[in-house]
Amino acid sequence: MARIRQTGAAAAASFGQSGSVYAAAGDVITAPDGKAIVAIQFLAASTFSDLTPTTATTCFNTDGAGYVSGGTTLPTNQSFSAGVVVYGEWSSATLGAASAAIMYFA
């Protein structure tokens, strides 16, 4: 029988033990002090009206290209399918119309 054994902060974060929140269309989610949104699991086809990284070059977002030179700003009409999980480091996120997701903090 397998046992899950927590060996540190990385293990806790990987299981969502730093907290999570359900978000629906129009909800403005801001990461708690000292934390970031590190994973977003879409429960319905979803878009972002705003997605703000912790720093301008951390990861893809609605205001800039993100980490890699030559990347493109995430358009607000870009849809993510239900079941998709994206990873990054965002300080806040606002879902577009008819959207639903669970956001995880670390």
Instruction: List, for residues 35-81, the tens digit of each pLDDT value.
Output: 999 999 999 999 999 999 998 777 888 887 777 666 788 899 999 99
Asked if residue 11 is part of any domain, the answer here is no
Asked if residue 1 is part of any domain, the answer here is no
- The boundaries of the domain holding residue 78 are 18-105
**Exposure letters 20-59 (e unless 16+ CB within 10 A, then b):** ebebeeeeebebeeebbbbbbbbebebbbbebbbbeeebb
Asked if residue 6 is part of any domain, the answer here is no
d(CA 104, CA 79): 19
d(CA 100, CA 84): 12
* 102 and 21 Cβ atoms separated by less than 8 Å: yes
Instruction: List, for residues 1-47, the tens digit of each pLDDT value.
Output: 444 455 556 555 555 678 999 999 999 999 999 999 999 999 999 99
Model pLDDT, residue 15: 55
How many domains is the chain built from?
Answer: 1
Asked if residue 55 is part of any domain, the answer here is yes
Phi, psi of 91 (to 5 degrees): -90, -30
With cut-offs at 50, 70 and 90, classify the pLDDT of residue 104: very high
Q: pTM for this structure?
A: 0.82
Strand partners, 42: 101
